[in-house]
Amino acid sequence: MKNKKQVINIIDKLDNSRRNQIIFLSLLALSALIIRLYIFPFDVPFFNDSQDYFWYAIDTSLLNKFPEGYNLTNNGWPIFVSIFFQLIDSNNFLDYQNIQRLIGVIFSVATIFPVYLLCTRFVKKGYSLLGATLFIFEPRLIQNSSLGTPESMYIFLITSILALFLSTDFKKI
């Protein structure tokens, strides 16, 4: 019973202090980034869909136009990634693949903020921090973020849209 009161006391402290919420979210984002970079496969090349997105992005960055002959269902992710490829000058294709993976990791970590805002619409802010924690440390999302596929950006955009749509501020809607 004493532990339950301590947990409720911690949640109440987090509810009342915006500064503590920001610090907690920042520490969560930093620890999520560290975990994702720890398991980051720096020397493993892409395969399957990731490889198709990669070559489309490389061709787009080199040709400065949309390449032909690819059978992708959408080309938004490789076009976005090709912008970063144009900023990098390397002769090693693994450098470009690591950039693509790193972009996915950054989107995955940034998802913590819209998830937190989405959770605050339904529960107390202290419990919203718990929801964001459970989301950001979900093992399949951690693994999926380093595949170089557009799922991380998709999840970020969907949670951002939901959080903004459910907002009470008309400007955000």
pLDDT at residue 67 in the model: 86
pTM score, whole prediction:
0.85
pLDDT at residue 19 in the model: 83
Token duo for residue 104 = 């996915």
pLDDT, averaged in runs of 10, over the chain (173 residues): 62 70 91 93 82 88 85 85 90 90 95 93 88 93 89 94 84 63
pLDDT at residue 141 in the model: 92
